[in-house]
Chain A
Amino acid sequence: MKIDPSIFSELKLFFNERANPSAGKLSVVSAYTLSQTEKELILVSLIRLGYKTDEVDYQINKNILAGIILKVGTTVIDLSLRGQLTTLKNELYEST
């Protein structure tokens, strides 16, 4: 079957996504590079919470200020300082 070259690369990405959905992949976002001990602590907690920890993707995002954000597929556990501050702001706004 002849595939138009202009869509070939996009089609390849699409099929890759379908075959190996990134739904299972766990990613940890932190504000700075984590040391080995910190990574191990996180892994222990993750195993306790019931997440598969064979493939963990570590990312850095300075915007979260501190703490970590865990992402599994579309589920997000926000333990960052930025998240706490936003919640605080909303609660103050709502209560007054």
Chain B
Amino acid sequence: MWASEQKPIEDGTPAEVTVDSHEAFRDSVRTFLGQALTPELKRAGELTTSVFSDFEAALKWHKILHAQGWVAADWPEEYGGPGWDIHQRYIFQEECKLANAPSLVMMGIQMLGPMLMHYGTEEQKNHYLPRMLSGEDIWCQGYSEPGAGSDLASLKTTAVRDGDDYVVSGTKIWTSMAHHANQIFCLVRTDKTVKPQAGISFLLVDLQSPGITITPIVSLDGQVEQCQVFFDDVRVPVANLVGEENDGWSVAKFLLEFERGGHNFTIDVKKQLRKIHHQAQQTPWQDGSRAEDPVFQHRLAEAEIDAMALEQTELRIKGAVATGGNPGALSSLVKVVGTELGQRLNELAMDLAGPAAGPMNLEALNPGFDGDTCVPEHALTTMAEYINNRASTIYGGTAEIQRSIIAKKVLGL
């Protein structure tokens, strides 16, 4: 029934995340979280308004998880991961999120780690992977440039070979957490004479190297998560090249699949829905609360139905992956749906908050804050979340890029 060139989206065996054998695992995760998550760490989780939590809290949580052997949930055992199956990893993520654990800084363990396991030399793996696990190295990602966003292959930061070093010049932008990081992985141009994709290499750079300047960028919510990083003749050892010289594009694409495919949007959306239900119950309406307002109920129900559809689609992907398939273009599909649904939920929260969305409350968003706020607790993060989530359809490949991938790879256009 499929037109000849169209590829049906393959289903694997149905992935039931709630089978009995996994319930015991879920219990053990809950028990651990109940003990390990201090009120302060939970507060940092509650006050998270973007993909990043308060940095100090995230680092503390990272070290606690590392001591437990759980910090790299997706890693195989041979590299220091817990060796969990796909359902266990999902359960762990879900329980952490719903228990308000802080979000980990994920560029090292979630993105660079799997890539090094695949492309790295033994020396690179032995050096970098343990330091990622321990939190000794904090990584950031140097992909985008002021002139190279969606058209990443047009990047201009150059690396010129000079003896045993590359000399790197140029600038990277939207480098999340660069102001806290000590390492950066970069795409750099090593050959200007070939077509753009063919002249790119993948380099690991120590941010303490002479010639590097990091400039923070204040986001719309008044906080700093993004930076611009400037490279002024920075010397980087050739040993820090990952993969072959000029093969950086395939390395980067591998990594982007992890950025997109490894994420479970359902978990984020479930947490948002839970917050909105709570917020609706706290928001006065006539003699009761907005939770009883039929117009609001109807809008929320439609979003919940889409959340269920997203969840079932993510389960289909997990079924396919568990039986050896590749999420491929389906990861683009869930990225579009997950982020756009998240934004729709932000709008519902904004409609509930009304004028309470206004005050900036910058101090109150600090987990250590114990003073008075000028808005109800349920509205404290609403505006910041609404603002910060605009980026979700931009980073990791814009919604437009994802739609183009779907058009090309699934529909064959």
- The answer to whether A and B assemble together is no
Residues on A lying within 8 angstroms of B by beta carbon are none
